[in-house]
Amino acid sequence: MTPHPRWMIYGANGFTGGLIAREARRRGLAPVLAGRSREATQSLAGELGLEGRVFGLDTPAEVARNLGGVALVLHCAGPFSRTHGPMLSACLATGTHYLDITGEHAVLEGLHWRGPGAGRAGIVAVSGVGFDVVPTDGVAAHLAAALPSATRLRLAFRGGTVSRGTAITMAEGAGEGGLSRQGGLLVREPVAARTWRVEHDGVTYKAVSIPWGDVVTAYYSTGIPTVETYLAVSPAAALVMRGSRLTAPLLRLPAARRFLRERAGRAKGPSETEMREGGTVVWGEVTDPAGRRRTAKLVGPEGYRFTVEAALASVERVLAGGVPAGAWTPSQAFGRDFVKGLPGVELRDREGAAAPRR
């Protein structure tokens, strides 16, 4: 039997990276565990009986030196706006496949433009292989196939508790406002500029527009020119989010950013019970100029469990070969049915019938 190529989880000392590392080991996989924190990285590597490497991301050259013998990096260390550049540059230099679990739209957009470089380097580069953005990207690709004439896509999601790393990423983006894609162009707008009512299990939710990664990925996956993304929340939370546009300028001040980052650092992430019993829902809708409409709904496991399953499945797909070199969205790299093959995921169309596998 051909040995499994060596691969690395960078940021294994973080909440999400640690979850992925433990599940990988449980499945008999042996990733190299890496991170900036010597104590945390070596402790986890010792616990799981895996190789540990300690290095920072200050320069691509330093990263490249630590990628020796590694075929693929699963990058889990955020905020990705600061960390993905050195890691991706090192992967391009060393011919190492690159995956990450970001949902940050600037990173997703940047990866798209580095696609030709990835192709020349002979590597596969895919961002958003976790809950950000595998389920929403899968729904988008399914709906685009159902209505090829669609010109507008709406996506909404609900569910999940944030970890420390995710909270810090959100804090760093506070004050930047909302974002949508209109007519193919990214447009800045207030958070909760739009609302959308969605339903699940007889409960109606108010979804408010937020700057989710699919304003980038869904556009490249489907070619649909107008993409809007929403978070389904309680009426009280919707009211607060709509009011936040008044305080957005204050949140851009350095003192406010430091305060939010400090508070975000206290987040602990979901408990084992919350991850085991929690769930997520994604709603999608496409329309075309003739008034035709298609909708779909995806139900899946809790967000961090979703990320673990999606990330490990993505690693397996790339290491198995068959994904062409270049930079891709998850559905471009692995097919629009990729999400339906993950444990606990069900994708249904408007009528409630299971969406056909193609």
Multiple choice CATH, 7-131+305-339, 1.25.40.10, 3.40.50.720, 3.40.50.300, 3.30.930.10: 3.40.50.720
Determine if residue 335 is left, alpha or beta; phi over 0 gives left, psi from -120 to 50 gives alpha, anything else beta. Answer: left
In the block, residue with structure tokens 């007519």: 183
Average pLDDT of the residues in 288-296: 97
Residue percentage of the chain with pLDDT more than 70: 82
What's the mean pLDDT in 135-153?
98
What pLDDT digit, counting tens, does each position of 273-283 carry?
A: 888 888 999 99
Q: Which of 240, 213, 26 is nearest to 101 (CA)?
A: 213
More confident residue, 176 or 42: 42
pLDDT reported for residue 178: 87
Say which residue the tokens 């070619």 belong to: 223
| Residues in a beta bridge with 75 | 10, 100
Rounded to whole angstroms, the Cα distance separating 306 from 41 reads: 23
pLDDT in tens, 227-276: 999 988 876 665 555 555 544 443 343 543 343 344 434 556 788 888 88
Asked if the model's pLDDT at residue 154 lies above 90, the reply is yes
Peptide bond just before 79 cis, omega within 30 deg: yes
pTM of the model: 0.88
Span 38-44, average pLDDT: 97
Residue whose entry in the numeric block shows the structure tokens 């957009």:
109
- 331-341 average pLDDT score: 97
Give first-to-last CA distance, the chain, whole Å: 31
Task: Return the CATH number of 134-303+343-349, one of 3.30.360.10, 3.40.50.720, 3.30.1050.10, 2.30.40.10.
Answer: 3.30.360.10
- Residues 195 and 209 sit within 8 Å (Cβ to Cβ): yes
Would you state the pLDDT for residue 350?
66
Looking at the DSSP bridge assignments, the partners of residue 53 are 34
For residue 43, is pLDDT > 50? yes
The DSSP element (H or E) to which 123 belongs, if any, is none
Checking if the pLDDT of 60 tops 90, the result is no
The ranges assigned to domains in the chain are: 7-131+305-339, 134-303+343-349
Q: Per-residue pLDDT tens for 179-224?
A: 999 999 999 998 888 999 999 999 999 898 988 999 999 999 999 9
Are the C-beta atoms of residues 299 and 346 closer than 8 Å to each other? Answer: yes
- pLDDT for the residue numbered 124: 98
C-beta of residue 286 within 8 angstroms of C-beta of residue 150 = yes
pLDDT top residue among 170 and 5: 5
Summarize pLDDT for 94-139 with one digit per residue, the tens: 999 999 999 999 999 999 999 999 999 999 999 999 998 999 999 9
Where does the pLDDT of residue 3 fall: very low under 50, low under 70, confident under 90, or very high at 90 and above? Answer: low
**Average pLDDT along the chain:** 86
